Structure 1
Amino acid sequence: MKAPAIAPCLGVKDTGASVGFYEKLGFTALPAGDDPNDDIRSLLFGDAFALMVYRDAHLRDWLPVLKDTPVGAFGMFYLAVDDFDAYVAGIRPLVDAVKEGTHDGQPIFYFADPDGYVIGVVQKREW
């Protein structure tokens, strides 16, 4: 697997709960490392790296500059899928839509994960 140019690592309240949420949406979690005190998990979408989740307390210990940063983010992430309609139909019962519609003629579907991170689903396309 090719490493991405930028790899998001999200601080989350409960790594297991976040992994369970993303697995229901079609992601695959790679096993945690050998350190039982380090619960960082890499998530794949299809066969490509998508993001990492890391318990907020552990992330704050790792990078003390984040000690006062709340879980969740101001911003959003986009998930490009092969078949927008089929994917959204499959996850719609599992998530609460925060916005949906079109932008530049393309359908868009936004939902929030358990920690408040907003993810916008879009049709995969070449730039």
Structure 2
Amino acid sequence: MKSPVIAPCLGVPDTQAACDYYERLGFTALPGTDDSDDDLRILLFDGAFAFMVYRDQHLRGWLPVLKDTPVGAFGMFYLAVEDFEAYVERIRPLVSVTKDVLTHHGQKLFYFTDLNGYVVGVTQRQTW
């Protein structure tokens, strides 16, 4: 698997809970390292890298500049899926809907907030 140009790493209070949550939404969680004491996890979607999750305490220790930063982020992440309608229908009962399906500039969007306060926008995968 090729690494992405930018690889988001989200600080979360409970790495296993975050992985369990995203696995219910169709992601696959993999260990981030061979070190059993390191709780970094890589999340894949449709077999491709999506992002990483890391226990917030470990992330703050690794980068002390983040020591006072709360979990959650100002901003959002986008998840591009092959079948927008089917995916949104499947995950709707599993997520906290932030903004229901709307069309903006001809593109359908659906937003949810995950269990740690991160906002994820779902969109139809496209080629530019």
Letter of the structure 1 residue corresponding to residue 89 of structure 2: A
Amino acid at match of 1:124: R
Deviates more, 1:89-98 or 1:27-36: 27-36
Further displaced range: 62-71 or 24-33: 24-33
Rounded Cα–Cα distance in structure 2 between residues aligned with 1:37 and 1:64:
19
**Distance across 1 between alignment mates of 2:71 and 2:62:** 15
Mapped to 2, the partners of 1:16 and 1:98 lie a distance apart of 23
Structure 2 counterpart of 1:59:
59
The alignment's TM-score, normalised by the length of structure 1, stands at: 0.96
Separation of aligned partners in 2, 1:9 and 1:82: 24
- 1:1-127 matches, within 5 Å, as 1-100=1-100, 101-127=102-128
Contact 2:31 2:39 in 1 (8 A): no
Separation (CA, whole Å) in 2 of partners of 1:118 and 1:39: 22
Structure 2: stretches of 5+ with no match in the other structure:
none
Structure 1 stretches lacking a partner, 5+ long: none
> Offset of 1:35 from its aligned partner?
2.7
Identity of aligned residues (%): 69
Letter matched to residue 110 of structure 1: Y
Aligned CA-pair RMSD: 1.0
> Distance between the aligned counterparts of 1:73 and 1:28, measured in 2?
22
Aligned partners of 1:123, 1:49: CA distance in 2, in Å?
A: 17
Partner Cα separation in structure 1 for residue 78 and residue 39 of structure 2: 24
What is the CA deviation profile of residues 50-69 of structure 1, one whole-angstrom value per residue up to 9, with x for unaligned ones?
Answer: 00000000000011111111
- Determine the C-alpha separation between the residues in 1 that align with 2:23 and 2:98: 20
**Structure 2 counterpart of 1:54, which letter?**
Y
> Runs (4+) of structure 1 moved beyond 4 Å?
none
TM normalised by structure 2 equals 0.96
Mapped to 1, the partners of 2:34 and 2:7 lie a distance apart of 21
